[in-house]
Structure 1
Amino acid sequence: MMESSGGPSTFRDLSAFVACSRVNSLALSADGTRLVAAVQSLSEDGTRFVSGLWEIDPTGKRDALRLTRSDKGESAPVFGPDGMLYFLSERAAAQGDEDEGPALWALPPRGEAVVVARHPGGIAAATVARESGALCLTAGLLPGAADAEAHGKLRAARKDAKVTAILYEGGPTRAWDHDLGPAEPHIFVRATVGAEPVVAGGQGIGLADPGDAALSPDGTRVAYRRFVPGRVPDRHRTAVVVADAVSGKEIHVVGDPEHLYEGPRFTYDGSAVVCCRMRYVTYDEPWNATLVRIDLADGTVQDLLPGFDNWPGGVVCSPVDDTLFFTSDEQGHAPVFRRAPDGGVTRLTASGAYGSLTVSPDGRTLYALRHAVDAPPTPVRIDAGAADQTPAQLSAPGGVGELPGTLTEVHVEADDGFRLRGWLVLPEGASAERPAPLLVAVHGGPHFSWNGWTWRWNPWPFAARGYAVLLPDPALSTGYGQLNHRRGWGQWGGRPYTDVIALTEATEARDDIDASRTALAGGSYGGYMANRVATRTDRFKAIVSHAGLWDLRMFQGDTDVPWYFQRIFGDPLTRPDRYEADSPHLDIANIRTPMLIIHGAKDYRVPVGQGATLFQELQRHQVPAKYLYFPDENHWILKPNHARVWYETFLNFLDHQVLGTPWQQPGLL
């Protein structure tokens, strides 16, 4: 195994922690002999992450071998049936194409990589037909452009005229950290590498992830997700389109106002498409998800998991029969499951969270990235026929060495009888004689679970500083059945709040925890919970709110997805009850706890005005507060040195407010 040798010092030295390599995705060759991973590492100047491709030995015998290296990086690897390795990169192949965005490159088993496809403005995603080798590319077309050539001319005209304006006539205008449009993502199919591309259809400008497309094994059909704007905003939805890959003619459009369809994948013989279907939320009903099969002969839709209580995702189809593999959050894990052709479902992995599933050509072996609260993403090999197994770990970059503490669980019964759980990170040396101060970290979402590794809210730098970290999964968390969503639905600051407090009290009752020195923090929905907690109790020594919702009425009109939140909270003019019950800003006068507010200006999901307003209100009410502001970051703090500043400020604030040490100004601030 390739691991760092720094041990716990990796987490004590924030520069070393930020510099750790990060494995992001896997691709398996058609013959099953080659496994490639995209791995992020620091650039030479240490100011950004650069992705490179590494060869991973599927047998686990040999060390990983780096395949590519460039200043622009390489990502999104995918194999063709002839062994060609395709990837996306912004590296320049010739003079003058530096600003054209990502191109599709091909790296043969022996030889140098060459560009095989470009598109004005860049290619967003690519996939390959398993048998024919046809290419499916996702790229944009400006309004009025029928093909890439026309798009390029229009794009050049806008650039020369220095026009950046966008005219919207409906639908959303922003997503997360960028403006949508004016180009709309489209699907392009090439029967061979050198063939002329066919425009198979548009995906709509409401997609945050435009790369949701797949080719049938023989390359004759393409399936993709399309955003379908409603006549009124709260009727926006997504559908799955199946089109002829040669003509672009649509064969089936599967969608309805009550569901969202996404993640289409063709079955082994190309006769059907499997995708995720989510029942759209309403004021009274939470999300609910399943996998469905779309028969391409007659368009009928079959629910494949009628009795499965959690939400499936990440589906891959066996190349030899109708077996499916998928992941789903479950009790603080995200196992891999197998659905047999007869409908039986088997959990294949005993612990951890999994992603980037890929299946061998004989259908007997899976490869995936396994991670957990105490383990970063690492490639593993899974027996497709064995239940509750511990997968074989493969040699890869990305190790972090020894952790500065241990991981356990906390369980408690809520006042409605529901059994709650959370992870508890304990620092080295925590005991009844040396009880540790506690940080309660509430996850975002709120439909999420603390079940895997995160580089952004990692508990181990806090453990290295001596803090225990509670990672609670309250009501609305995923992995605990549909009941856990129902019990918290429509009351963001109600049942989830009491669950967080119950898990906090159960943790504080341990003799290795110092209940007198406890802080609480959260990001996104967790930031909302931090704000809500601040208005309801003085039990915490400090509260940290990252990208937190403060004024729900103001937020609902300013977020990038206002129609989604209006489905949950209702029209604020005609149904104000939930806004008035759950908006923290109405209770600003109750806050006494010192707060650290963190926000990025490019955050369109929870716009920066939420954090800025809270900071001003805290000052007006003379509550001790600090505001860590990032003018060029979004909902997440992603740049390496900004991440280091984020952790340093966070930790120093806790030390000052919880431990009573003098305030230490971070060096770069």
Structure 2
Amino acid sequence: MTLRLLLSGAAMLAAVAGAHAAAPGAPRGFTVEDMVNMERVGSPLLSPDASKLVYTVRSTDLAKNGSNTQLWLLDLRAAKPVPQRLTQAAASSTDPEWSPNGDAIYFLSARSGSSQVWRLPLAGGEAAKVTDLPLDVDNFRLSPQGDRLALSLAVFRDCPDLGCTKARLDARAAKGKTSGVVYDRLFVRHWDSWADGRNAVLYSAPIDASGKVTAPPVSLSGMLDGDVPSKPFGDHDEYRFSPDGANIVFAARIAGQSEAWSTNFDVYQVPAAGGAPRNLTADNPAWDSKPTYSPDGRTLAWLAMARPGFEADRFELVLMDVASGKRRKLAPQWDRSVADFRWTPDGKTILATADDVGQHRLFALDAASGKVTPVSGKGYVSAFDVQRDTVVLAQANLASAAQLFKLKLGGDTEHATQLTKLNEAALADVRFGQYEQFSFTGADGATVYGHVMKPWNAAPGAKYPIAFLVHGGPQGSFGNSWSYRWNPQVYAGAGYATVFIDFHGSTGYGQAFTDSISGDWGGKPLQDLKLGLDAAVKKFPWLDRERSCALGASYGGYMMNWIEGNWSDGFRCIVNHDGVFDTRGMAYSTEEIWFTEWENGGSYYNVPQKHEQFNPVHHVKNWKTPMLVVQGDLDFRIPTTQGLGTFTALQRQGIPSKLLMFPDENHWVLKPANSVLWHHTVIDWLDTYTKAKP
């Protein structure tokens, strides 16, 4: 089967646009207000017969500083499918699931006051509540037969029923003046939340033909000391029914006291009606996730890493014969890390996404031979689904937020059909910055890739100030994708050229390249950034090297501190968002300890010299570049003391500096009004130093 998807630049550019604007006016650049007000498409799901597509659209009300998500439907049998809004309630509707015969859609909504499962018949009528539980349903799945729900709830594991958890939470809320909490293990806090003693527990409950729950939910994972799905970002992709509905497979980390420094997730199987979970991957001490049965139920596939404690190890596809238990790796020679995957209905192919040289592409893997064939070309595939001979995907690029496209499985996909044109009216007068990928010889003679983007109104012969963007992770990629937080088009709209490099440690270039940053945070990556910026300036004469500022968050923020002390004459200004200032403090205050221990070759008390080798705090005396520091007070990944330490070091030495604190944001700035403030503050900082004389 040969598949190739080439989405034309014109089609993708036409896809970027909004729903609320008037007729287009004079051409203009893209702004942060444009970005936060954009409608966002997600969760595409084909009906069982592939005739219809349900998906979500998230809209933002900047005046109310909030967002709302609703369900939409496309009839793919129509010559020109017209989007139809399915849900109208004030509360959001999310996580759609089709009934087995395609006559109804199940979804999550808090329209009744708490998050519950609802059922919407497509023949007409109002949505009906499926669950009426005393606790919120966080996520769910419907069995292939439509007779059972699997759902995840946050409960106290020692409680005999859901009412006990509700009563305990109510008692805590009414306990009066005391606020102290005693902990005897990590995690004390995770991402942006303090531990309260509850776990995410997987339950199942039978439902009748009308979609009503007919018996109290039965715990499937409550006997295990772990979360299903995992915290903080796990969802229903971490558990699935078998095709006959008899069993459920799920991923969980059962690590007890060592949870904060363990990545040992395992795949479990449990009878859907209740029983004892069975560990299927006890022999692998590393990460196993996203178990999924083949359509005939004979094969179980999942993602597996090989190295314990390494969150950025390569995720490979493992296939297990259910009857014999025999396992094999699929496409072991394919040096890419799988992000998500789906079986095709005939069970002969697995569709999978992975980072690939600055793109995030969809691939087809032959389930027998392991042959890998690209399906998508340039861009970022953020979601996809397959039914019968139809594939739908959400794809974005650096000039377009995600839009939905349809293509035939195994057919001629040179021109995929675009299904949505969200934001087209709102952005009709916006001109986006043109962008280009380039490569250069980086550290150790390796070929390294990056991107450049022109300002929206670039003129021949002109030079433009540079916003030099450094990605976080550090095992990540700043490639051909659309971001609602670090979007080069916002800088292009403000008159800046942007340069961003996938330095050593980035993903999509082979696992050895990703591995190369561990233990070398301030080494090869800094060389790549220097060489990459030089190469870009040499290749693209519209880049004004004399007027450049560097910006980064997380590891990118760490690199801002490292640049401040080790490339102190490199830039006119720096923007550091949630960056590591002191690696010793980081080792003892971050929540996911496995990360700092892997990156530095062990715990701080065992190998302090490795943690200190690239510690920015030791180079503070070299600092001189003006810096804007940004910190979220709910960031428990890189805690507030790191940002305060950076700002203190700057202020104490009289270096021009500002601190932008967000008491209500975590590692990311997510609230619409805060995002607007962030961008205006950052661009004002750049303007101050790039538009002034040296």
- In structure 1, distance between residues paired with 2:673 and 2:27: 18
Q: Is the 8 A contact 1:438 1:467 kept in 2?
A: yes
Residue in 2 that maps onto 1:129: 143
Instruction: Point out the more displaced range, 232-241 or 21-30.
Output: 232-241
CA apart distance, 1:539: 1.5
CA apart distance, 1:436: 1.1
> Of 481, 491, 507, which aligns to 2:510?
481
Residue in 1 that maps onto 2:626: 594
**Identity across matched positions, percent:** 27
Instruction: Point out the more displaced range, 130-139 or 635-644.
Output: 130-139
Residue in 1 that maps onto 2:650: 618
CA apart distance, 1:432: 5.9
> Of 349, 352, 359, which aligns to 1:333?
359
- In structure 2, distance between residues paired with 1:231 and 1:186: 18
CA apart distance, 1:631: 0.6
Q: TM-score, normalised by structure 1?
A: 0.92
C-alpha change, 1:421 and 1:613, in structure 2 (3 Å) is: same
Q: Is the 8 A contact 2:518 2:598 kept in 1?
A: no
| Aligned amino acid, residue 190 of structure 1 | A
In the TM superposition, 1:163-562 aligns within 5 A as 168-192=183-207, 193=211, 194-196=213-215, 197-202=217-222, 204-205=226-227, 207-211=231-235, 212-229=238-255, 232=258, 234-256=261-283, 258-280=285-307, 287-342=313-368, 343-360=370-387, 362=388, 364-386=389-411, 389-399=414-424, 400-401=427-428, 402-430=430-458, 433-451=461-479, 452-509=481-538, 510-537=540-567, 538-562=569-593
C-alpha change, 1:256 and 1:643, in structure 2 (3 Å) is: farther
Q: Is the 8 A contact 2:342 2:352 kept in 1?
A: yes
CA apart distance, 1:65: 1.9
Give the SS at the match of 1:274: strand
- In structure 2, distance between residues paired with 1:167 and 1:384: 55
CA apart distance, 1:286: 6.5
Residue 96 of structure 2 corresponds to residue 77 of structure 1: yes
| Aligned amino acid, residue 172 of structure 1 | F
In the TM superposition, 1:85-124 aligns within 5 A as 85-92=105-112, 98=113, 101-109=114-122, 110-124=124-138
Residue in 1 that maps onto 2:5: none
| Aligned amino acid, residue 541 of structure 2 | D
CA apart distance, 1:51: 1.0
- In structure 1, distance between residues paired with 2:91 and 2:457: 44
C-alpha change, 1:446 and 1:51, in structure 2 (3 Å) is: same
| Aligned amino acid, residue 555 of structure 2 | Y
| Aligned amino acid, residue 91 of structure 2 | K
CA apart distance, 1:316: 1.0
Give the SS at the match of 1:405: coil
Residue in 2 that maps onto 1:95: none
| Aligned amino acid, residue 82 of structure 2 | D
Q: Is the 8 A contact 2:551 2:557 kept in 1?
A: yes
Give the aligned CA root-mean-square deviation in angstroms. 2.4
Unmatched tracts of structure 1, length 5 or more? 93-97, 663-669
| Aligned amino acid, residue 406 of structure 2 | R
- In structure 2, distance between residues paired with 1:633 and 1:148: 31
C-alpha change, 1:416 and 1:470, in structure 2 (3 Å) is: same
Give the SS at the match of 2:72: strand
Residue 671 of structure 2 corresponds to residue 642 of structure 1: no
CA apart distance, 1:119: 3.3
Give the SS at the match of 1:292: strand
The count of aligned residue pairs is: 652
- In structure 2, distance between residues paired with 1:34 and 1:417: 51
Residue in 2 that maps onto 1:161: 175
Q: Is the 8 A contact 1:522 1:544 kept in 2?
A: yes
| Aligned amino acid, residue 609 of structure 1 | T
- In structure 1, distance between residues paired with 2:324 and 2:243: 19
| Aligned amino acid, residue 189 of structure 2 | R
CA apart distance, 1:44: 7.6
C-alpha change, 1:174 and 1:7, in structure 2 (3 Å) is: farther
CA apart distance, 1:415: 3.9
- The higher relative CO (CA closer than 8 Å, separation ≥ 6) is in 2
Q: Is the 8 A contact 2:137 2:151 kept in 1?
A: yes
Unmatched tracts of structure 2, length 5 or more? 1-13
CA apart distance, 1:122: 0.7
CA apart distance, 1:292: 1.0
Give the SS at the match of 1:53: strand
Q: Deviations over 1:600-631 (max 9, x none)?
A: 10011111111111101100011110111101
- In structure 1, distance between residues paired with 2:313 and 2:413: 28
CA apart distance, 1:118: 3.5
Residue 80 of structure 2 corresponds to residue 49 of structure 1: no
CA apart distance, 1:72: 2.3
C-alpha change, 1:106 and 1:661, in structure 2 (3 Å) is: farther
CA apart distance, 1:8: 8.8
Give the SS at the match of 1:259: coil
Instruction: Point out the more displaced range, 613-622 or 407-416.
Output: 407-416
Instruction: Point out the more displaced range, 273-282 or 258-267.
Output: 273-282
Residue in 1 that maps onto 2:82: 63
- In structure 2, distance between residues paired with 1:390 and 1:619: 56
Q: Is the 8 A contact 2:135 2:162 kept in 1?
A: no
Give the SS at the match of 1:648: helix
Residue in 1 that maps onto 2:607: 575
Q: Deviations over 1:552-601 (max 9, x none)?
A: 11011111112331132122222122222111111111111110101110
- In structure 1, distance between residues paired with 2:131 and 2:254: 29
Residue in 2 that maps onto 1:665: none
Q: Deviations over 1:113-161 (max 9, x none)?
A: 1211133331111112234452211112213113323333333333343
| Aligned amino acid, residue 124 of structure 1 | D
CA apart distance, 1:245: 0.5
- In structure 1, distance between residues paired with 2:625 and 2:41: 39
CA apart distance, 1:506: 1.0
- In structure 2, distance between residues paired with 1:57 and 1:598: 46
Q: Is the 8 A contact 2:578 2:631 kept in 1?
A: yes
- In structure 2, distance between residues paired with 1:412 and 1:296: 47
C-alpha change, 1:44 and 1:529, in structure 2 (3 Å) is: closer
CA apart distance, 1:653: 0.5
| Aligned amino acid, residue 114 of structure 1 | A
- In structure 2, distance between residues paired with 1:10 and 1:189: 53
| Aligned amino acid, residue 395 of structure 1 | T
| Aligned amino acid, residue 247 of structure 1 | G
| Aligned amino acid, residue 189 of structure 1 | S
Give the SS at the match of 2:377: coil
Q: Is the 8 A contact 1:73 1:90 kept in 2?
A: yes
Residue in 1 that maps onto 2:3: none
CA apart distance, 1:513: 1.0
C-alpha change, 1:187 and 1:650, in structure 2 (3 Å) is: same
CA apart distance, 1:224: 1.1
| Aligned amino acid, residue 520 of structure 1 | A
CA apart distance, 1:33: 1.6
Q: Is the 8 A contact 1:176 1:634 kept in 2?
A: yes
